[in-house]
Copies of this chain bind each other. A is one copy, B any other.
């Protein structure tokens, strides 16, 4: 397989690379100088895919780490880090803003580049770790040392393949492979195609232990990749089981395909509102869409909470006789989120059974009858039960009742979402929604799941 054509498209041009490397060096030089000038005991590092030479064309964020000695008080580290970040941003006429990961950092738009200034501690190995970002410098050093020059292209191919099959990115929205994990896979397996070959045979709990630490037994994750810079950490911990499975099947599909090149390009999608509505209609599915405001919380908090909440509602629907065929959530990540339930059945009859105690527990039976009256009480197997009017014979009515102050505690709602859901949710008809293509693309993914993993 000749990858030149695709590499031509995804690999930064020499001039693009020169530009970014120049800018990176200027920033490093400036910060190093500033530290000396201000008598700050900090070292400046370029980290991430730009420094490793494994970034895809157009995805050239510059990650600058300002590392302080381990004995620096955390408040001093934060403050000095922010001051230096702002100073650098100003010096290069950037537009800066503050963000929060494990501690605050500065992001600045400088020229055409997105530059992150991240204060951290200078550690020698994982055991000295003070915050999650501290190990980034160790990661960068490891990759620079062990990834061979020709393998940088292989990393690009793997990242692109994963991106186009929907498995790239360790952020919670995706739950897929991190860039660092891709690089370790190429170090382990040599090339992109060999990685796919090997992955196609992975079993649950597959172990990659480049430094032979022998610590894999510590981890129960589907994929265990011992961090070469920290024997007590699994780089694959954030990889969701379904994303691992999708990658494995994508790899097999690719290896069996006569049209391998297509796996490096986006699929063609149906993203019109009309198509979506017509499709659900042809499938005979009732669709319930529920819209609400989202709170201002980090995306890596928002996404898992949305997923947990929509899943919990679907579970309750299923447990109460309604039949959820598929469900999902979509958010613009700014102001609104929508839960969508595709129902195999959204309407039930109007009678229900209120299950009481076992007949053999006399006192409980007495209490049940005292509470509900003897009317309509009868025996099912060895339970005392009562025939009652079904509280909600439509799925919408059921959800409506669930999303109340009193009942919302019965489901698992992301804790930051409870208030905004209660305050702002409303049911909506798909036809009435005026939303970006991204929403209709999400609906299309519900209608045609798995379209990314095959060509």
Contacts and interface: CB of A to CB of B under 8 A. Distances in A.
A449 interface: yes
A450 interface: yes
A246 B79 CA distance: 75
Contacts of A248: 359-360
**Assembly of this chain: how many copies?**
2
A253 to B, nearest CB: 6
A393 interface: yes
Contact of A345 (B246, B285, B345, B362): B345
Given A282-B350, A283-B349, A343-B349, A321 B321 contact: no
A344 B389 CA distance: 12
A203 B349 contact: no
Interface in A433-450: 448-450
A113 interface: no
A380 interface: yes
Nearest to A241: B382
A197 to B, nearest CB: 11
A239 interface: no
A252 B345 contact: no
A365 B251 CA distance: 13
Interface string A245-289: 110110011000000000000000000000000000011111000
Interface stretch (A28-36, A120-128, A228-236, A371-379): A371-379
Interface in A383-402: 383-384, 387, 393
Nearest to A250: B379
Given A362-B200, A362-B201, A454-B377, A449 B283 contact: no
Contacts of A213: none
Interface string A319-346: 0010101000000000000000011110
Nearest to A383: B245
Interface string A189-222: 0000000000011111000000000000000001
A200 B363 CA distance: 11
Contacts of A351: 283-285, 325, 344
Q: Which secondary structure characterizes the binding site on chain A? A: mixed
A382 B380 CA distance: 38
A322 B62 CA distance: 56
A386 to B, nearest CB: 9
Given A321-B344, A348-B345, A359-B249, A242 B379 contact: yes
A453 interface: yes
Nearest to A323: B321
A382 B454 contact: no
A378 B241 contact: no
Interface string A352-368: 00000011101001100
A431 interface: no
A327 B233 CA distance: 55
A313 to B, nearest CB: 18
Contacts of A378: 449-451, 453
A283 B352 CA distance: 10
B382 A222 contact: yes
A185 to B, nearest CB: 18
Contacts of A282: 350
A374 B201 contact: no
A188 to B, nearest CB: 19
B204 A382 contact: yes
A381 interface: yes
Contacts of A380: 242, 449
Residue in A249, A286, A454 whose Cβ sees the most chain B Cβ within 10 Å: A249
Interface in A160-203: 200-203
A26 to B, nearest CB: 45
A283 B389 CA distance: 9
9 contacts: A204-B358, A242-B380, A242-B382, A245-B359, A252-B365, A284-B393, A285-B349, A343-B349, A375-B454
Given A283-B349, A284-B351, A321-B344, 8 more contacts: A241-B382, A242-B379, A242-B380, A242-B381, A245-B382, A249-B359, A253-B374, A387-B450
